[in-house]
Amino acid sequence: NILCSFLLYEKLNIKFLGIYSFLVGLGISRGIEKLLSINIQLKWPNDIFFEDKKIGGILIESKIKKNDLILNVGIGINVNQDIDSFSNDISDNVNSLNNIIGHPIQRELLLSYILNEIDNLFNNMNVNELVKEWNDRCVNINKEVSFNLDNKLKTGVFKKINNKGQSIIQYENSEIV
C-alpha cells in the first residue's frame, strides 16, 4: 500500500483552506487514472473510491507558523493488498488497485504520478474548475449523510461542495453550509 505524508505551504488566500483536501483527492484520482486507465471517484469528505468501494483516504492537518499556513497531508491507498486480507467487517466495502486491474502495481511509479498531479493542481489552481471536477466525481451527491449540528448527530442530503470547500447539505427545508 501507499501510506505517506508530505507538507504543502499555503499559496491561496486562507479563506480557501477547505479546498485542499479536495485538491489532493483530485490529484490522487487523476494520478491513478493516468497510470492505470481506470475511473476513480471521490466521496465527501475525504475518500477515494472505485465502483462503490473505498480504495483510499486523505487526512490533512494544518498549522499556522509566523503567518504561514503549513498543511501536513496524509494519504493512504490500497495498492497491492490482497482482497482476502481485509477483515470481514469491511471486506464488502473496500478494494485494492491490484485486485481491480489484476496485477501488482509499482508503488513508487504510482506515487510519482499522484504527486505530479497534486503539484500541477496546487501550482495551477483554478478553484471553479477544481470544485466542478470534484463535484462531478463525487459518489455521494444527493445521498444521505450524517453530520453534527449543534452537537447533535443529524442526517441530510449531501448536495455538493462550494468554492470555499464547504459542504452544502439539504437539511429539513433548507440548505446548510
Measured at the CA of 20, the angle between CA 8 and CA 100, to 5 degrees, comes to 100
What does the pLDDT read at residue 161? 96
Residue-wise over 138-166: b if at least 16 C-beta within 10 A, else e? bebeeeebeeeeeeeeeebebbbbeeebe
**What percentage of the chain reaches a pLDDT higher than 70?**
98
Which one is predicted more confidently, 13 or 76? Answer: 76
| Whole-structure pTM value | 0.91
What does the pLDDT read at residue 11? 60
pLDDT in tens, 46-73: 999 999 999 999 999 988 877 778 899 9
Partnered with residue 167 across adjacent β-strands are: 161
The answer to whether the beta carbons of residues 110 and 101 sit under 8 Å apart is no
